[in-house]
């Protein structure tokens, strides 16, 4: 029955085409079925398709069940540690220890306070951010502090000078090349064309990064602030890594530099023995204990980024 054969063949073709269309248009929720978004935006669907995703957290996420966060497929976490020259996130020590215990790779971030000298902030960073060999590289969070007690904008030249000093301090302290986190406005005002050999972590919650930034490449994308992740009550920022599994692993092992997209020794070497530390050069011995210290003023007034 040729007619029946033809009909069945066409039906099978349509089913396959439909399945392919769904695979191409579905925003990859299947990669992390336990995660969701309270206010998803179509413009960031490319980020949800990235295989390697993580979160960033601070005191505002409250007490976190890191075992559940890990079970949901979280591949990395950036944890707020310090801000300015006098504030330590009160949940940092607990988050840092419990993320490690659960097996979630984690890095610490420092929120820059433009009203404080860079040297004061480096001193504060060195006092409170641990130098754990297994940690991800640290992050320098640079934004304008709109609607805060430090809302004045400094000159581009002064901002760049402060950033250089703090990047240098973070690198010297941890032994790892820092990541730069920024948003659309600050990048446009200060960072376009700057620090191109550093890894960038960019924020855009409503559009592809290429529509918002004059930057050819990026390493991390903060694509929503209304994420839902088991183990965390309420909103949490979700992020995606730009790169493959092998690049992510090699970056953590120090064999791949994600900022310059270069392999250690100039090429990818399969089966290379990992160095003693993750994500780059040898880290110093672990820093001493971190003493909790309450912020001198309410954090919600101080921080533009809800970190």
Decide if 247 is catalytic.
no
Answer yes or no: are the C-beta atoms of 76 and 222 closer than 8 Å: no
- Comparing CA positions, the residue from 217, 220, 200 lying closest to residue 105 is 220
- Please name every residue paired with 55 in a beta bridge, in sequence order, or none if there are none: 77, 238
Q: Would you give the end-to-end CA distance of the chain in angstroms? A: 67
User: Tokens 């994500």, residue?
Assistant: 279
Torsion angle (degrees, nearest 10) of CA 173, 223, 257, 179: -20
- Of 103, 49, 109, nearest to 72 by C-alpha is 103
Of these residues, 143, 219, 247, 299, which one is catalytic?
143
String of DSSP letters for 163-229 = HHHHHHHHHHHHSSPPEEEE-HHHIIIIITTS-TTS-EEEE-SSS-GGGT---S--SEEEEEEEEE-
Considering just the CA atoms, what is the radius of gyration of the chain in Å? Answer: 21
Question: Are 49 and 78 spatial neighbours (Cβ–Cβ below 8 Å)?
Answer: no
Q: Which residues are catalytic?
A: 143
């Amino acid at each position: 029955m040729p007619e029946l054969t033809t009909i069945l063949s066409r039906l099978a073709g349509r089913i396959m085409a439909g399945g392919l269309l769904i695979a191409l248009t579905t925003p990859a929720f299947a990669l992390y079925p336990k995660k969701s978004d309270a206010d998803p935006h179509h413009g960031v669907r490319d980020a949800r398709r990235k295989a390697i995703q993580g979160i960033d957290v601070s005191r505002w996420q409250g007490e976190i069940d890191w075992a559940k966060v890990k079970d949901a497929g979280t591949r990395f976490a950036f944890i707020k540690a310090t801000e300015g020259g006098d504030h330590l996130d009160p949940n940092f020590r607990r988050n840092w220890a419990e993320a490690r215990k659960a097996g979630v790779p984690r890095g610490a971030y420092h929120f820059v306070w433009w009203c404080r000298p860079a040297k004061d902030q480096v001193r504060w960073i060195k006092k409170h951010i641990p130098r754990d060999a297994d940690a991800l590289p640290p992050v320098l969070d640079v934004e304008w502090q709109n609607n805060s007690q430090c809302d004045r904008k400094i000159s581009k030249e002064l901002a760049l000078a402060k950033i250089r000093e703090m990047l240098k301090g973070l690198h010297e302290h941890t032994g790892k090349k820092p990541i730069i986190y920024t948003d659309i406005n600050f990048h446009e005002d200060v960072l376009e064309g700057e620090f191109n050999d550093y890894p960038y972590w960019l924020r855009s919650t409503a559009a592809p990064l290429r529509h918002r930034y004059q930057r050819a490449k990026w390493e991390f994308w903060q694509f929503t602030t209304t994420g839902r992740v088991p183990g965390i009550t309420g909103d949490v920022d979700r992020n995606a890594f730009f790169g493959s599994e092998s690049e992510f692993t090699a970056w953590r092992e120090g064999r791949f530099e994600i900022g310059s997209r270069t392999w250690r020794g100039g090429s990818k070497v399969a089966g290379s023995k990992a160095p003693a530390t993750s994500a780059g050069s040898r880290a110093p011995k672990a820093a001493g204990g971190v003493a909790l210290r309450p912020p001198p003023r309410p954090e919600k007034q101080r921080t533009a980024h809800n970190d």
